[in-house]
Structure 1
C-alpha cells in the first residue's frame, strides 16, 4: 500500500511580508520631492500666471451684468447676453474685425518667418564673435518699451525734420506722411513688430538648433549636400516641433495685437485702419466708462483665442506633431 503524498509546503506571500513604507519615506520618493528644485524655479512663473492671468478672469462675470462700481459685482443687475448682442450688431464690429484680422494675417505672413530665417542664417556663421555681436544687436530692441520704439520711428519718419523725409527731399522728392497716411500705418506697424520681436524669436530657434545631431550634417556633407540643402533637409525638420509650438501660440494671440503699440501709432487721421479690439476696449471701458461692455469685448477675444489654440493643437497632432498640450 503506497504512502500518501506529502502536502506541498506553504510559501508565504512576499507582498504580505512587506510592510507599507512610512508616509515620510513615500513623500521623499515622490516625483514632486525628487524634482523639488525645478518646481522651486518654476514657482515665480506659476505665481505670476495665477495672480495676473487666472485670478483676473473672475472679473469676466461683469460682462453679463450692468456693472456699477458703487454696487459691486454682487449688487449689479444681471443682463445676460445684452452686451454681446449690442457688440455683434453694431457697425463698429465689422470695422474692428477687419482691421484686427488684416494686421494679424500680416504679422503671421511677414513677422512670424523672420526669426526662423535669422536663426538659419546665424547658424551658418562660423566666426563666433561676429555671431554674438549680431545676436546682441537684433536682441536689444526686445528690451525697449513701445514708447521708445515708436518715438524712434517718429523722429525718423516725421515730415517735420525727419531723417527719412530729409533724404527724400534731398533726392528731389516730396515728404511722405508716414505717420498720418492710413496706407502706411499697417506696414509701419508690422515693421516695428519685426524690429522689436525678431531677436527674441531668433534666440528660441537657435536654442532648438543646438539640439540637432551634428553627425547628420557630417553625413550630409559626405554625400555632397551643400549648406542650403543641409538647412532645408536637416535643420528645418529638426526644429519643426518648435516652429509648430510657436505658431500655435501666435494663433492664440490672433485677435490680441496689444493695446500699447497701436495706441501709440494711431491718430485721428489713420484711425479708420488702426482701430482694433484692444483700442476699442480702452475707448469703451476707460474713456466712456462702459465697463461691462468692454468686458464683453474682451471675453469675445479670449474665447476666440481659446478656440483657435484648441483647433491648431488638434490639427498639429493630426499631422503627427506634439502640440502644446
Structure 2
C-alpha cells in the first residue's frame, strides 16, 4: 500500500513508517511545515520516500493520512483526485473543554483516529466515524544504567508550553536535566538544558539518569514517557490525561500533588536498587501495551478497512 503522510510529529511518525508499506512524505525546497521531508534526527527505514508536491499527481496513492485540518485541501490540490482519508488526532482539545468540537466533526469523507482513549472521550467528533489506535514505540533496548543521581525530562519548547508542559514544576525535581527542542532558555531557571539531540543519543543520555519525570498537565500522552519506560527507567508522573492508564503503580509514582512527586524523585535518586526494580516493571508494561508490533497491526487493519 502507498500512503501519503506529512512529517509532523517525529516520534509518532518514526513508529508509523516502520510498517510494511511505502510512505510518501512531501518535501519542499525550504523544508517548511508542509514539506519537511524525511527526519534528520530520527532513524527511518528506506520505505519512507520523499516526494515533491508537484510529482504527487503522477504517483499511485492508496490512502492519505492527515494530521492537520488544512492537509485535506493540500491533498486534493496536490493529488488532483479523491483518495480515502484518515485523520490522526494527536492532541487533547483546547479551549472549551469538554465541549470542544473536533475540526473533523460531522464528516463522512474521513475516518478519525485518536491516539488515546482520553482524547476520544474529550473531543466531540459528532457523527464522524472514530476509533482509537494507541501509540507504539520502537524498542530501543534496556538501556537504563541510572549511573547519574539526577532526574531527566523531555519537553519540546518548554518556555512556549510553560504550564501545559509543566515546565513551572521542574525546579521541584532538581537536579533535573531537560532534553528536547529549544530547551536552552531553561538555564535561566536553574535547570540543565540538553538541547535537540538525535534520538539515539538522547535515549542513551536519558538512560544514564536515575529517574524520568513527566510533569505535563495537559497533553495527549508523551511518547518520551513511553520511550523512557521501554528503556527501563523508573518514572515519576503527573497523574493527568492518559498517563494514569499508561503507568502501572509498580513502574513508578503517579500523583496530582507535586510534593508527592518531588519526594518520589528524591527516593529513587537515593536508592538505585529501588529505581532499577521500578524501571524493570516500567519496561515490561510498556512492551506489553505499546509495542511496535501491536501498533502496526492495528494500523494495518484500519488501512485495509478504509481502502476496500
Instruction: Give the TM-score normalised by the residue count of structure 1.
Output: 0.24
User: Which structure would you say has the larger Rg?
Assistant: 1
